[in-house]
Amino acid sequence: MSQLSPFDLARDAGRHTHHFHGGLKLRHNKRISCQTPVERPPLPDILVVPLLQQAGDIARPLVEAGDLVLKGQQIGHCQNCVAVHAPTSGTVEAVEDRLMTHASGMTGLCVIIRPDGKDQWTRLEPLDHIADISPARLARQLQECGLAGLGGAVFPTHAKTLDGHQRQVHTLILNGAECEPYISCDEMLMREQPGKIILGARILRRALGAERVVIAIEDQMGAVHQALAYAADCAECTQITVVKVTTIYPEGGERQLIKVLTGLEVPLGGRPSDLGLVCQNVATAAAVAEAVSEGKPLIERYITVTGNGISRPRNLLALIGTPFYHLVDACGGYTGNVARLVVGGPMMGYPVSSDATPVVKAVNCILALTDKDIAAPQAEMPCIRCGECSRACPATLLPQQLHLQVNNGLWDEAEEYGLLACIECGCCDFVCPSHIPLVSWFRHGKDMLRQRADEAQATTLARQRFEAREVRLLRKKQARAEKMAKRKQMLQQKTATAQQTGKSAKGPEDA
């Protein structure tokens, strides 16, 4: 009987659905932001566009204070990563360090643009003949249009596409399973722009050389299924299947979704392409369609502005660089008692200290929580070994064990027990009756492991450099010794010849 490899088994992605270990059924709180169509807020007074918005290298600024820029004009270039563009026309006020949209509250280089109100586009360069675009040409277009994954990881889209093509993946998975409570921007995008998502899916499928596309949505997304299926029918695209998956947190995680669609685990330290799969977010697919068919760079995205602290929660189409306060104003302002402003959802999001923080490509939600939403801090108690955390862990880890190891600095053991596989989903925190802040411990532990790995790499490099230098010196010494010996031999021969012919000559020692 022939045994199929996981690579081949994954070809059946989406034909049946499976379950992943653990996870939580949460109140999704999405309806409050889905009642009205997506709106485009007025132009803000100022735009703060960070030059690093994705995984990878920072872009080099192409403009300076006083320059006039057009909408869509490239203002940052990066050889190895993606470009950055002006979200509207206006004047560059400064290129300087500003507060970044990051959990650490760090600052970074940003281009500050004062909009002129004209919103005047630069000349865009779309690609023709979608069917004939080579993967390399598509990758160049995506890089120049600044595309990075809009699902949260912001990995450069061109690099993922090229890698998938090289590894001959067979299936493209579009992730529309937006499992975090409150966030509804992907659902609204799928409702309002299904045609764009289908076009992006077709472009990516061709570039990857994949046989199929599976679009995964949640079973509570109502009209989305019909919208996508209808758009796929209109495009006469039979290779696209829309699959409903049970709403359970965190099934929108890449590894969890792959498990649900294929029943297979992405190997630890491996990538989905090991199983012949590439995962992209549905919003990334829509951005690919715009980049190719219109030449439009990634200068705006759908964002959910929600929570009990917002007067009129809704989804907005916001320009990159817009300060959060401008979007909150567009939603009627705060209700008055905001206790915490969070970027992302309540499970994996992070708080920010100021609402002047700018929108970047990774921001899918601004969540304003009130006192009532935030549970009063509970005193941490000792672990009672109840096992609730391991039952809830979607990465099949043993959080109570990892906590013990990280707490005691047992880094080798923590690594062995899979600390780096923790996706920081917060399920273990949520269920722990002892109120142990497990995720905070794991974030700290992962930082320590990475630091150790960096140090070990630096030590190895230093040792290799030292050894290479030693070998080089030894070779030089040997070469010099051989040269000396040769010269000595030549002189001895010369002396001997001179003595034989009766001529005087200098001895080798004199020489």
* Amino acid at the residue 227: A
10 Å CB burial of residue 485 (0-12, 13-18, 19+) is exposed
Binding segment for ligand SF4 (CB under 6 A), chosen from 85-93, 112-120, 266-274, 429-437, is 429-437
Residue 366 has φ and ψ, to the nearest 5°, of -115, 120
Q: Examine residue 387 and tell whether it contacts ligand SF4 (CB under 6 A).
A: yes
What are 84's strand-pairing partners? 76
For ligand SF4, the closer CB: 33 or 400: 400
Residues facing residue 110 across a β-bridge: 50, 96
Q: Which residue has the tokens 């008692």?
A: 337
365: helix, coil or strand?
strand
The encoded tokens of residue 399 equal: 């959080």
Cβ contact 72:339 at 8 Å: no
Residue 425 touching ligand SF4 (CB under 6 A): yes
Q: Which of 30, 279, 422, 446 binds ligand SF4 (CB under 6 A)?
A: 422
Q: What is the C-alpha to C-alpha distance for residues 90 and 84, in angstroms, rounded to an integer?
A: 15
The footprint of ligand SF4 on residues 401-420 (CB under 6 A) is 403
Helix (H, G, I), strand (E, B) or coil at 277: strand
- Site for ligand SF4 contains 352 (CB under 6 A): no
Stretch binding ligand SF4 (CB under 6 A), from 135-143, 273-281, 396-404, 473-481? 396-404
Q: Is 348 in the site for ligand SF4 (CB under 6 A)?
A: no
Distance CA 415, CA 94 (A): 44
| Closest CB 365 distance from ligand SF4, rounded Å | 19
Contacts of 370 (CB under 8 A, 6+ apart): 307, 308, 309, 335, 337, 338, 339
424 binds ligand SF4 (CB under 6 A): yes
User: Which of the ranges 111-119, 241-249, 257-265, 384-392 carries the binding residues for ligand SF4, by CB under 6 A?
Assistant: 384-392
Binding span for ligand SF4 by CB under 6 A among 73-81, 283-291, 337-345, 383-391: 383-391
Q: Is 440 left (phi over 0), alpha (psi -120 to 50) or beta?
A: alpha
Under the criterion CB under 6 A, does residue 442 sit at the interface with ligand SF4? yes
Give the count of residues interacting with ligand SF4 (CB under 6 A): 30
Among 389, 405, 406, 417, binds ligand SF4 (CB under 6 A): 389
Cβ 37 to ligand SF4, closest distance in Å?
35
Q: Judged by CB under 6 A, does residue 347 bind ligand SF4?
A: no
Q: Which of 217, 233, 128, 134 is nearest to 179 (CA)?
A: 217
251 is a contact residue toward ligand SF4 (CB under 6 A): no
Footprint of ligand SF4 (CB under 6 A): 383-389, 392-395, 397, 399-400, 403, 422-428, 431-434, 436, 438-439, 442
